[in-house]
């Protein structure tokens, strides 16, 4: 083709011809072809200066050849260029040797030269600096920044880069661009600028390290796209620069983007703005902001991160040394009326415990001390974790810290705390971490007003305990810490629960906005020999600047079954995707290999392209030559290229064996089985029924309500009995709910989406079909064996007290003394967990007693007051109203003599003396214990229990309402002790999670699952024993079979099956071995499919089957 | 089920001294179930033997492997027969029966055992097998509450425990249950204690291994002309 | 001849180790280029014979990298893998090959630096152990010995099954 149109010209570089715009320099033309030419002084986006001459190439000129600087020589039509001839190499060597003599101290230049094979220079150094006078710094300062703070001055050997009059420049904006572009590390910003240099610390690493002005917002940012920090970017501040726009090969920089306001028509709003950490400078007495070794816990969390500013090493900001003595100060900005945060932030005790353990793992020998007020390890298994921390050597000191003092020389920090004898002692630490409180997002305070949502007195969304998800405005729901400070599992639960509330409201509109993409029918390729297309990506310069893409492409053509091998600058760009689609069709490709970035992000994109081209998406394989090659071997391009070839060869080997997989669907039964008719079970049933799903609610007793029947008041004065009655009425009125009182579940068969269960009611058996199971069997207050309970009518439990108070059946003599004993038979060796609710229950009951019997003396004996969240305010109110709180230690529990009078003795740790009381009434905080039938349910559903007998969820943090087996859910106190409000949240969360299954008529089954070849199976049970999901089972023909819907696709069974009867689709032996076998050299095609035996060995004719037993 | 376990790789290599082409033959029944001689294990050992031979300077020896349905019937060797001539040694990854069956079928080729056949037993928990039956030829399990004292009592006592039973444990080996304790417990549980009070007569060992190779004949099943050899 | 550079095959699980390797890339950590990563959905899919096949084929070392113990995306695949790696070590030592040539590591997806560390550690270990005796001359296009015929046999059989049903 004759390309003589005025704006496009044809250029040939190293034997490859391409079309480029007229006027393109040879260097840029070569770059577009993926051929990299070394240069020092050329910088994309800056004008060409031709100073370094390293980019010399040889061009064909008429009869002869000529050396030219490729950066400054404009390519002309038909030009033929050679970049690596002997002449080029010789001249470049001399040039580099001269440059080395010019800048003998530059390590950067020495490395650059060494990579091009020049290790030393025969010339005598002319100066002793680092500068090669390429002028890049001056060009970026003039052309991009419009400053002209530095320039080239003088001539000949007197030439130098400097500021005017060699004085620190006022013109300089201290942007650092000159230092950034300098190829030899010669620029020292301090000598240039008159301004104070300050690192551009960003929130990415909690202001611990400097980051560029274009960066990800945070490591997990989604979408994972960098953004420009407009407050610091030169372009946005002074309209200069714009270098990023010129450099970005993908054209992704858009300075015109502005904040857009979108109008959305929605039926419901869920508020999840989260929280903000307390501003540590408001508690300046701890030294944050001026003492460098005082960090916030959020900063410390970054420091512990392997990908953080210090790569997971602990280091003191003042001197970079590892600390030996570390202290945590708890409750900074929480439980603090002084800054209006008289609530507890709920999460900091455990967060500090976790950070303490991690810190000790990172820095062996580290001494960690946690200064705390009450250790609030109230969540599931939290007390065990706290015990573990103590065993590992974390020192917990119960002491209020009022301030820290920084030591002038060492920058260590001193503080005063109380020792166990309650004497003040001074201690010194190398580093201090402040456990910051959680505060509501400041920006939301105004928004809330606009949204018409009422906030509580601390600025969080106002909800009630019985309606924890509903804000003051109907249809607006709240999830996460904006409702109340809470940790991850509670946040996840509440967010799901808010979704359930919205789904109930919008049930009628479900599915009306769904759009589906249509694909052409898939071509059947099973009988075709493999025809592989290889697409190697430059990823701009991310890959091409290190890996010789062209060489990889060439090499790939030699691999077996490869029909086509090509390269693109950006393979994932949409036009190249279209091109790939055309190539697949035109070349009848049936397997595709893309060598580019990571399949973790891009495999779905390319699989979609395959589907668009009529191929099964599983006929695709990726070679990761960026994240795992060019980025990590940038210093050794040759070996990186060799590795890229190996990786492509492995991918091609595997691709040749790939087979199409069908992602099937199975029908879903939209019914629900709820086991347990307490508040959790009923709430889940209602939430699901409201969404239109038929619910079967099985309750073993004759009444609904469970333990809630004995509770009358919430802390915020909610009427629990009224709420319960209302809930039961709604339940009975719902057309979607069938209630089975006096019933139990005797059998559950099937798997997610299609269960069949048997329910027994008074001996009568009924069969139910349903898609999911909800376990809400609850917990019960365990009746104590100690403190004379049962022997004296003056010793009762908190639940009994609440019930009698609620029913108005409780009376006390005037001036009576009531003692409440906390942690009875719990947080003990036998029952090493906390029941979470007892501290608050004691406070609530104490307040009720004070209301009814103002003259009564009430004393609460506690170990740690765990009144987390807003409950802290009630604790404070109780103290203000005269309730006496006395702490006791676990090894000195109170003793009670039960006789004509009750005599109670307790050791007060601060006084070190016993207190003696003769109470009129003793109230015990008995543990909340799992129901007796937990084991039956656990075996019935094959779901696990934890060591305390509560049901164990799939993931304690991230999947708090799911069981590991799909389609089974857990809510309420069967999961762990919790308040009614938390049970209501969790029950709604279950409804949302269950709806993700029930809302589908058909459920997709992944293609990548295990499959048993029944002819090879010997029914040895190995797979059945080892699968963590119980996906394999012995089928009706006595052979193992894998239940597709249950299989997660890990391949554990396939890897152990002794008969090799199980294969994990998409990862079958042959596919993996093909990659392994291609590691060193390509397997010749004829070697790949050869069977040494005429018939398949293993099954002798006639076909033989074991008889069924 | 017959339980076996694998031999040391070097032991296998030593067996193949002087051979040029070796075929490892796995068995798809008992030894597959006890994770010793199925397709997976044969493949693993094949790979290991090839590498070990190469390290010993015998890299020229060809070692191939295949696994057949069952080694205790000649019919399943048919697919191998065509290739028998290609090998000068066969190593059976079946039980001792398989080894001998192969030896009968391939009279001209050396046949070696790839496994150590252990006992007839049961999977106790994943990866653990225990012996349950000694094949004495005269089953008296009914007298002993379904627990075999011949196999499971270290001293093969038929009339109650020896003096070395401590807390239900056998004195011979640590961690071994006393069979007589088990028999007693089970007999008590099912209410047949009186049965074990009776004196058990000495065992008739003529049906056991001591009496020469044993044979079972079912006349009605014998096909005319192909009857049992005398 | 150039200096000996070990060739290492790494079996990495999709959710943790492979992600950590990617993160090492995003962080531009530099580590030796001896390692070739093969992605598995979970180290639970690792088979003893994959490790042996890799050694037979000539790699100098193998490492298996899965999620942190207790943090497996598939609950306990990494625990199964660890046992299989132990078994492979046992067989390797019977063969007469150093069992240190294979190892199992656990890391989370956030531990990019740890991945680089592992590669450094394995490279150093294998450099001191020297080349594998099964290693063919690099760049040889012809296999040194016949490939295992069982693997070939299965090539024709298994593939079809996996697409039919």
Is residue B211 a part of any domain in this protein?
A: no
Is residue B218 a part of any domain in this protein?
A: no
| Nearest CA-CA distance, residue C165 and chain A, Å | 9
pLDDT digits (tens, 9 = 90+) for A553-590: 999 999 999 999 999 888 998 889 999 999 999 999 99
Residue A415's closest CA among A336, A326, A299, A342?
Answer: A326
Whole-number Å distance between alpha carbons of A765 and A115: 81
pLDDT bucket at C153, cuts 50 / 70 / 90: very low
pLDDT bucket at A18, cuts 50 / 70 / 90: confident
H or E element: which one contains A720? helix A720-733
Sheet bearing A902-908, strands edge to edge = A895-898, A902-908, A913-917
Does the beta carbon of A1018 lie under 8 angstroms from any beta carbon of chain B? yes
- Cβ atoms within 10 A of the Cβ of A286, count? 21
Residue that is written with structure tokens 């406070």 in the block: A843
Q: What is the CATH number of the domain that holds B27?
A: 3.40.50.2300
Is residue B30 a part of any domain in this protein?
A: yes
Which residues on B lie below 8 Å from C145 (Cβ)? 50, 54, 59
Residue A284's closest CA among A373, A404, A401, A399?
Answer: A404
Does the beta carbon of A15 lie under 8 angstroms from any beta carbon of chain B? no
Q: What is the mean pLDDT of residues C79-104?
A: 96
Which residues 73-92 of chain C have a CB within 8 Å of chain B? 91
Is residue B161 a part of any domain in this protein?
A: yes
Q: Given B43, B68, B78, which is nearest A1098 (Cβ)?
A: B68
Q: Given A306, A964, A1087, which is nearest C114 (Cβ)?
A: A306
Predicted local confidence at residue A6, as pLDDT: 66
Average pLDDT score over chain A: 91
Whole-number Å distance between alpha carbons of A296 and A412: 16
Q: Given B47, B62, B64, which is nearest C49 (Cβ)?
A: B47
pLDDT digits (tens, 9 = 90+) for A194-219: 988 888 888 888 888 888 889 888 77
* A329 & A415 share domain: yes
Q: Which of C94, C99, C157 to mutate to test the interface with B (most CBs of B within 10 A)?
A: C94
* A290 & A427 share domain: yes
Q: Given B39, B40, B83, which is nearest A1093 (Cβ)?
A: B83
In the B/C pair of chains, how many CB contacts fall below 8 A?
Answer: 60
pTM reported for the whole predicted model: 0.80
In contact, A758 and A765? CB cutoff 8 Å: yes
Residue that is written with structure tokens 């080694």 in the block: B71
Which residues on B lie below 8 Å from C94 (Cβ)? 8-10, 48, 52
The pair phi, psi for residue B72, each rounded to 5°, is: -90, 30
Whole-number Å distance between alpha carbons of A795 and A919: 10
Neighbours of chain C (3+ CB pairs under 8 A): A, B
Domain end among A621, A638, A655? A655
Bridging pattern class, strands A325-332 and A431-436 = parallel
pLDDT digits (tens, 9 = 90+) for B83-115: 878 899 999 999 999 999 999 999 999 999 999
A688-697, B11-20, B64-73: least confidently modelled range: B64-73
> Cβ–Cβ of C95/B44 closer than 8 Å?
no
Which residues on C lie below 8 Å from B64 (Cβ)? 148-150
Is pLDDT above 90 for A955? Answer: no
Q: Given C47, C56, C149, which is nearest B51 (Cβ)?
A: C56
In the A/C pair of chains, how many CB contacts fall below 8 A?
Answer: 204
CA atoms within 13 A on the CB side of B130: 11
Domain that holds residue A574: 532-655
**Gyration radius of chain A over CA positions:** 36
| Nearest CA-CA distance, residue B30 and chain A, Å | 9
Is residue B214 a part of any domain in this protein?
A: no
| Nearest CA-CA distance, residue C49 and chain B, Å | 5
pLDDT bucket at B227, cuts 50 / 70 / 90: low
The burial of A452, by beta-carbon neighbours within 10 Å (0-12 exposed, 13-18 middle, 19 or more buried), is given as exposed
Q: What is the CATH number of the domain that holds A394?
A: 3.50.50.60
Architecture of domain C8-140: 3-Layer(aba) Sandwich (3.40)
Domain that holds residue B60: 2-119
Is residue A306 a part of any domain in this protein?
A: yes
Is residue B155 a part of any domain in this protein?
A: yes
Domain end among A440, A467, A498? A440
Domain count, chain B: 2
Predicted local confidence at residue A225, as pLDDT: 85
pLDDT bucket at B228, cuts 50 / 70 / 90: low
- Higher-scoring residue by pLDDT: A356, A1098: A356
Q: Given C53, C142, C162, which is nearest A1068 (Cβ)?
A: C162
Cis peptide before A1102 (omega within 30 of 0): yes
Residue that is written with structure tokens 């050849």 in the block: A65
Q: Given B32, B80, B126, which is nearest A1018 (Cβ)?
A: B32
Predicted local confidence at residue B230, as pLDDT: 45
| Nearest CA-CA distance, residue C113 and chain A, Å | 7
Domain count, chain A: 6
* B100 & B147 share domain: no
* A110 & A3 share domain: yes
A12-16, A60-64, A1082-1086: least confidently modelled range: A1082-1086
Cis peptide before A851 (omega within 30 of 0): no
Q: What is the mean pLDDT of residues C100-127?
A: 94
* B85 & B40 share domain: yes
Rounded to whole angstroms, the maximal C-alpha distance in chain A is: 124
Is pLDDT above 60 for A105? Answer: yes
Q: What is the CATH number of the domain that holds A556?
A: 3.40.50
Residue A162's closest CA among A176, A152, A170, A177?
Answer: A152
In contact, A202 and A211? CB cutoff 8 Å: yes
Which residues on A lie below 8 Å from B81 (Cβ)? none
What's the token pair of residue C66?
């899965």
Neighbours of chain B (3+ CB pairs under 8 A): A, C
pLDDT digits (tens, 9 = 90+) for A902-936: 999 999 988 889 999 999 999 999 999 999 999 99
Is residue B156 a part of any domain in this protein?
A: yes
Write out the residues of chain B at the interface with chain C, using a CB-CB cutoff of 8 A. Answer: 8-10, 39-40, 42-44, 46-48, 50-52, 54-56, 59, 62, 64-66
Is pLDDT above 80 for B209? Answer: no
> Cβ–Cβ of C37/A624 closer than 8 Å?
yes
Is pLDDT above 50 for A951? Answer: yes
Predicted local confidence at residue A542, as pLDDT: 87
What's the token pair of residue A686?
């209602």
The pair phi, psi for residue A675, each rounded to 5°, is: -100, 110
Q: Given A629, A631, A1073, which is nearest C53 (Cβ)?
A: A1073
In contact, A754 and A748? CB cutoff 8 Å: no
| Nearest CA-CA distance, residue A731 and chain B, Å | 47
Q: Which of C6, C9, C11, C25 to mutate to test the interface with A (most CBs of A within 10 A)?
A: C25
| pLDDT above 90: percentage of residues in chain A | 73
* B147 & B177 share domain: yes
In the A/B pair of chains, how many CB contacts fall below 8 A?
Answer: 65
* B81 & B41 share domain: yes
Domain end among B119, B145, B179? B119
pLDDT digits (tens, 9 = 90+) for A132-191: 999 999 999 999 999 999 999 988 888 889 998 889 999 999 888 999 999 999 999 999
Residue B66's closest CA among B88, B95, B46?
Answer: B46
H or E element: which one contains A934? helix A934-941
Domain end among B59, B88, B119? B119
Task: Round to the nearest angstrom and report the end-to-end CA distance of chain C.
Answer: 52
Domain end among A82, A100, A131? A131
Predicted local confidence at residue A1109, as pLDDT: 25
| Nearest CA-CA distance, residue A1012 and chain B, Å | 15
Predicted local confidence at residue B226, as pLDDT: 64
Is residue B223 a part of any domain in this protein?
A: no
pLDDT digits (tens, 9 = 90+) for A971-980: 999 999 999 9
The vertex-A267 CA angle with A261 and A273, nearest 5°, equals: 60
In contact, A386 and A832? CB cutoff 8 Å: no
- The residues spanned by each domain of chain C are 8-140
What's the token pair of residue A117?
């094979």
Whole-number Å distance between alpha carbons of A538 and B13: 50
The burial of A346, by beta-carbon neighbours within 10 Å (0-12 exposed, 13-18 middle, 19 or more buried), is given as buried
The vertex-B185 CA angle with B184 and B189, nearest 5°, equals: 115
* A288 & A422 share domain: yes
Does the beta carbon of A1059 lie under 8 angstroms from any beta carbon of chain B? yes
* A486 & A582 share domain: no
* B75 & B163 share domain: no
Q: What is the mean pLDDT of residues A688-707?
A: 95
| Nearest CA-CA distance, residue B161 and chain A, Å | 34
Q: Which of C33, C41, C50 to mutate to test the interface with A (most CBs of A within 10 A)?
A: C33
pLDDT digits (tens, 9 = 90+) for A1015-1066: 899 999 999 999 988 899 999 999 999 998 889 999 999 999 999 999 999 9
The answer for residues whose C-beta is within 8 angstroms of residue A834's C-beta and 6 or more apart is A377, A378, A382, A383, A823, A826, A827, A866, A977
pLDDT digits (tens, 9 = 90+) for B36-63: 999 999 999 999 999 999 999 999 999 9
Is pLDDT above 80 for A991? Answer: yes
Q: Which of B4, B31, B33 to mutate to test the interface with A (most CBs of A within 10 A)?
A: B33
Residue A553's closest CA among A567, A540, A539?
Answer: A567
pLDDT digits (tens, 9 = 90+) for B155-183: 999 998 998 898 999 999 888 999 999 99
């Amino acid at each position: 083709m004759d390309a003589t149109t005025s704006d496009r010209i044809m250029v040939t570089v190293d034997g490859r011809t391409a079309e480029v715009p007229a006027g393109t320099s040879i260097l840029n033309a070569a770059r577009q072809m993926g051929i990299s030419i070394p240069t020092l002084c050329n910088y994309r986006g800056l004008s060409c200066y031709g100073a370094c001459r390293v980019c010399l190439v040889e061009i064909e000129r008429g009869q002869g050849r000529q050396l030219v600087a490729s950066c400054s020589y404009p390519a002309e039509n038909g030009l033929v260029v050679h970049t690596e001839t002997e002449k080029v190499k010789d001249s470049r060597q001399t040039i580099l040797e001269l440059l080395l003599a010019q800048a003998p101290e530059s390590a950067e230049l020495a490395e650059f030269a060494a990579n091009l094979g020049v290790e030393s220079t025969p010339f005598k150094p002319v100066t002793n600096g680092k500068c090669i006078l390429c002028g890049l710094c001056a060009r970026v300062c003039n052309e991009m920044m419009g400053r002209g703070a530095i320039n080239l001055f003088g001539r000949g050997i007197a030439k130098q880069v400097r500021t005017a009059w060699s004085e620190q420049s006022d013109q300089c904006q201290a942007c650092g661009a000159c230092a950034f572009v300098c190829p030899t590390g010669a620029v020292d910003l301090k000598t240039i600028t008159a301004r104070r240099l300050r690192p551009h610390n960003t929130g990415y690493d909690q202001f611990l390290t400097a980051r560029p002005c274009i960066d990800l917002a945070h490591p997990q940012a989604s979408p994972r796209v960098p953004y420009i920090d407009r407050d610091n970017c030169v372009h946005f501040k002074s309209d200069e620069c714009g270098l990023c726009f010129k450099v970005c090969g993908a054209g992704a920089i858009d300075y015109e983007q502005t904040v857009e306001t979108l109008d959305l028509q929605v039926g419901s709003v869920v508020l999840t703005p989260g929280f903000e950490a307390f501003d540590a400078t408001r508690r300046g007495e701890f030294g944050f902001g001026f003492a460098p070794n005082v960090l916030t816990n959020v900063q410390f969390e970054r420091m512990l991160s392997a990908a953080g500013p210090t790569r997971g090493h602990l280091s003191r900001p003042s001197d970079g040394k590892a600390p030996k003595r570390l202290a945590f100060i708890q409750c900074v900005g929480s439980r603090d009326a002084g800054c209006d945060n008289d609530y507890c932030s709920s999460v900091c005790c455990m967060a500090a415990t976790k950070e303490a353990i991690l810190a000790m793992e990172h820095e062996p020998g580290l001494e960690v001390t946690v200064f705390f007020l009450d250790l609030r390890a109230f969540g599931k298994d939290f007390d065990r974790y706290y015990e573990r921390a103590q065993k590992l050597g974390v020192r917990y000191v119960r002491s209020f810290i009022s301030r820290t003092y920084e030591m002038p020389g060492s920058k260590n920090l001193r503080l005063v705390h109380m020792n166990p004898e309650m004497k003040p002692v001074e201690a010194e630490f190398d580093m201090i971490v402040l456990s910051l409180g959680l505060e509501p997002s400041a920006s939301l305070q105004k928004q809330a007003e606009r949204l018409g949502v009422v906030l509580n007195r601390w600025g969080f969304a106002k909800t009630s305990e019985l309606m924890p998800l509903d804000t003051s405005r109907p249809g607006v729901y709240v999830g996460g810490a904006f409702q109340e400070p809470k940790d991850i599992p509670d946040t996840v639960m509440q967010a799901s629960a808010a979704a359930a509330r919205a789904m109930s409201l919008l049930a009628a509109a479900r599915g009306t906005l769904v759009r589906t993409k249509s694909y052409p029918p898939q071509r059947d390729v099973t009988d075709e020999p493999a025809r592989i297309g290889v697409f190697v990506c430059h990823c701009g310069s991310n890959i091409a600047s290190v890996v010789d893409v062209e060489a990889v492409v060439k090499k790939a053509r030699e691999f077996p079954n490869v029909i086509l091998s090509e390269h693109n600058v950006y393979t994932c760009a949409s036009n190249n995707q279209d091109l790939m689609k055309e190539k697949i069709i035109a070349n009848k490709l049936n397997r595709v290999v893309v060598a580019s970035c990571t399949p973790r992000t891009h495999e779905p994109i390319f699989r979609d392209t395959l589907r668009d081209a009529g191929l099964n998406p599983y006929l695709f394989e990726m070679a990761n030559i960026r994240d795992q090659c060019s980025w990590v071997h940038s210093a050794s391009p040759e070996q990186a290229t060799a590795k890229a070839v190996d990786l492509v060869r492995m991918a091609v080997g595997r691709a040749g064996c790939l087979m199409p997989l069908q992602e099937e669907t199975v029908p879903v039964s939209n019914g629900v089985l709820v086991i347990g008719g307490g508040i959790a079970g009923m709430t889940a049933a209602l939430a699901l029924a409201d969404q239109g799903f038929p619910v079967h609610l099985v309750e073993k007793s004759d009444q609904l309500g469970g333990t809630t029947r004995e509770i009358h008041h919430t802390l915020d004065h909610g009427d629990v009995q009224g709420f319960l009655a209302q809930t039961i009425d709604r339940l009975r009125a719902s057309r979607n709910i069938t209630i089975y009182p006096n019933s139990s579940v005797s059998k559950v068969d099937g798997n997610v989406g299609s269960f069949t269960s048997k329910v027994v009611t008074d001996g009568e058996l009924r069969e139910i079909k349903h898609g999911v199971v909800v376990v809400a069997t609850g917990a019960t207050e365990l009746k104590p064996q100690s403190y004379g309970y049962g022997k004296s009518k003056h010793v009762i439990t908190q639940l009994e007290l609440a019930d009698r108070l609620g029913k108005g059946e409780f009376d006390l003599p005037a001036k009576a003394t009531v003692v409440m004993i906390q942690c009875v038979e719990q947080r003990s060796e036998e029952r090493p967990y906390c029941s979470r609710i007892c501290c608050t229950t004691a406070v609530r009951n104490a307040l009720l007693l004070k209301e009814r019997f103002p003259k009564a003396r009430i004393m609460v004996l506690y170990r740690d007051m765990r009144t987390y969240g807003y409950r802290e305010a009630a604790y404070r109110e109780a103290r203000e109203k005269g309730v006496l709180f006395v702490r006791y230690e676990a090894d000195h529990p109170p003793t009670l003599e039960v006789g004509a009078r009750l005599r109670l003795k307790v050791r007060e740790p601060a006084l070190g003396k016993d207190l003696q009381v003769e109470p009129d009434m003793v109230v015990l905080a008995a543990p909340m214990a799992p129901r007796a039938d937990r084991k039956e349910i656990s075996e019935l559903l094959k779901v696990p229990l934890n060591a305390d007998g509560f049901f164990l969820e799939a993931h304690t943090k991230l999947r708090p309402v799911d069981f590991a087996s799909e389609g089974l859910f857990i809510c309420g106190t069967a999961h762990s002790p919790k308040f009614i409000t938390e049970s209501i949240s969790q029950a709604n969360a279950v409804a949302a999670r269950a709806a993700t299954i029930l809302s589908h008529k058909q459920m997709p089954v992944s293609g990548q699952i295990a499959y048993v070849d029944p002819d090879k199976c010997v029914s040895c049970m190995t797979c059945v024993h080892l699968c963590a999901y119980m996906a394999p089972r012995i089928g009706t023909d006595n052979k193992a079979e894998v239940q597709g819907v249950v299989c997660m696709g890990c391949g554990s069974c396939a890897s152990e099956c002794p008969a090799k009867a199980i294969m994990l689709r998409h990862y079958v032996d042959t596919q993996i071995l093909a990659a392994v076998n291609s590691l060193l050299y390509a397997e010749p095609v004829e070697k790949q499919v050869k069977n040494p035996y005429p018939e398949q060995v293993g099954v002798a004719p006639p076909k033989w089957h074991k008889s069924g037993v | 089920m017959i339980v076996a376990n694998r031999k040391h790789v070097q032991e296998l290599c030593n067996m193949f001294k002087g051979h040029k082409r070796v075929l490892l033959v796995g068995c798809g029944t008992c030894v597959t179930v006890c994770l010793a001689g199925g397709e997976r294990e044969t493949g693993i050992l094949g790979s290991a033997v090839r590498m070990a031979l190469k390290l010993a300077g015998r890299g020229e020896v060809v070692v191939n492997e295949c696994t057949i349905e069952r080694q205790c019937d000649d019919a399943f060797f048919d697919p191998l027969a065509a290739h028998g001539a290609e090998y000068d040694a066969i190593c059976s990854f079946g039980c001792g029966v398989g080894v001998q069956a192969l030896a009968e079928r391939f009279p001209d080729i050396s046949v070696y055992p790839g496994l150590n056949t252990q006992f007839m037993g049961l999977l106790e928990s994943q990866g653990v097998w225990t012996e349950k039956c000694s094949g004495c030829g005269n089953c008296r399990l009914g007298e002993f509450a379904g627990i075999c004292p011949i196999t499971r009592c270290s001293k093969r006592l038929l009339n109650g425990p020896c003096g070395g039973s401590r807390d239900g444990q056998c004195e011979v080996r640590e961690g071994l249950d006393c069979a007589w304790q088990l028999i007693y417990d089970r007999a008590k549980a099912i209410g047949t204690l009186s049965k074990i009070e009776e004196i058990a007569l000495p065992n008739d060992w003529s049906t056991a291994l001591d009496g020469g190779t044993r044979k079972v004949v079912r006349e009605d099943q014998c096909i005319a002309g192909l009857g049992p050899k005398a | 001849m150039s200096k000996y550079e070990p060739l290492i095959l790494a079996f990495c699980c999709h959710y943790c180790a492979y992600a950590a390797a990617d993160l090492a890339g995003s962080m531009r950590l530099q580590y030796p280029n001896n390692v070739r990563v093969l992605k598995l959905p979970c180290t639970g899919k690792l088979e003893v014979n994959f490790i042996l096949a890799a050694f037979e084929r000539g790699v100098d070392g193998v490492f298996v990298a899965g999620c942190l113990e207790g943090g497996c995306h598939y609950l306990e695949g990494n625990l199964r893998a660890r046992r299989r790696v132990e078994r492979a070590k046992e067989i390797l030592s019977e063969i007469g090959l150093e069992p240190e040539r294979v190892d199992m590591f656990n890391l989370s997806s956030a531990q990019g630096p740890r991945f680089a560390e592992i590669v450094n550690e394995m490279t150093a270990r294998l450099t001191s152990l020297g080349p594998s005796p099964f290693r063919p001359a690099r760049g040889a296009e012809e296999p040194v010995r016949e490939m295992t015929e069982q693997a070939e046999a299965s090539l024709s059989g298994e593939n079809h099954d996996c697409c039919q049903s």
